[in-house]
A = this chain, B = another copy of it.
Amino acid sequence: MLDDKILHFFKKRGSSYVSGEELSEAFGVSRTAVWKHIEKLRDEGYEIAASPHLGYKLMSVPDRLTSVELGWQLNTEVIGKRIYSYKEIGSTNDVAYSLATQGEKEGSIVIAEYQTKGRGRLGRKWISPRAKGVYFSVILRPDILPKDISVITLISSLSVAKTIRDLTNLAAFIKWPNDVLINKQKVCGILTELNGETDKINFVIVGIGINVNAKKELLPKEATSLSVEKERLISRLEFVKMLLRNLDVYYKIFNKGKIDQILKEYKRLSAILDRRVRVNYHNSSVSGHAIDVDKEGALILRLDSGFHERVLAGDVVLLR
């Protein structure tokens, strides 16, 4: 699209002016056409200064999650090499799943300002206030067996917690397996879906939803957002770019087989290790002291009887 091309042109030129003539020559369109596109970009929130003698200059970009803005100087190796951005979508996981079925490469992401059918784990709903959060899905094709899928979940939540800490300094912790909490309230949910055979994963879709700038009243009761906790708005654009870079780094570590390193960082940010917890799964539950997370992503509980139990799935409730 010409809008995107003009933006790229501006960005490459940094902070200097670009004349209408230059743009019209570069893209083979009239100067009036250039002006119309500038107006359209302004409508979308781009601040573009115009001077009769110097031409146009990009002053600021809106906090919008477009493929042009996200891809600009992203510099990752795998994650986000291709970005599909939408203003509105049913569910980013559904679109990513369908792309993956058609052979889309690993690392591609699908991101949207709004989801009409955002999904969480186990068929739950995920609420996606428009342009207030970050909702995206990554396609991965790890060379693992279905039983190792949990590790992908650990990588994702670790990347989110780390990004929150790096960007906002907020004390984000991970509630096993993959919720991210600030002050014991949920800021992030992750839904990991897979397609595979008994002895091979074809692809994994990691859907990540983060409450960034939503006000408390837009969110479910037990949830919070980065802006509520930080008491200022957070750049979603900056957040996503940093998150994609962190995902890229941890996925690389994972592919080198260094799961120990990931586990070490994950455990350091755990909200539940060394705490007494109850894990609910279906209609049963088990309580104990959370003592470890193993290489397959299982939570190890020490029961009151002294026995250890490996828990592979469920919802954790912190006790006391």
Contact = CB atoms under 8 A, between A and B. Distances in A.
A153 interface: yes
Contacts of A193: 195-197
A209 interface: no
A312 B145 contact: yes
A197 B146 contact: no
Interface string A160-197: 00000000000000000110000000000001111111
Contacts of A178: 198
Interface centre among A121, A193, A197 (most CB of B within 10 A): A197
Contact of A147 (B143, B147, B200, B314): B147
A191 B199 CA distance: 10
A313 interface: yes
A1 interface: no
A286 B192 CA distance: 32
Interface in A190-223: 191-200
A68 interface: no
A194 to B, nearest CB: 6
Interface string A116-147: 00000110000000000000000000010111
B194 A121 contact: no
Contact of A200 (B122, B146, B199): B122
A145 B281 CA distance: 12
Interface of A: 121-122, 143, 145-147, 149-150, 152-153, 177-178, 191-200, 281-282, 296, 312-314
17 contacts: A121-B199, A121-B200, A122-B197, A145-B312, A146-B194, A146-B196, A147-B147, A149-B198, A150-B198, A177-B198, A178-B198, A193-B195, A194-B194, A194-B196, A199-B281, A199-B313, A199-B314
Q: What 7 A-B pairs are tightest by C-beta distance, nearest first? A: A199-B313, A147-B147, A146-B146, A192-B198, A153-B198, A193-B197, A149-B198
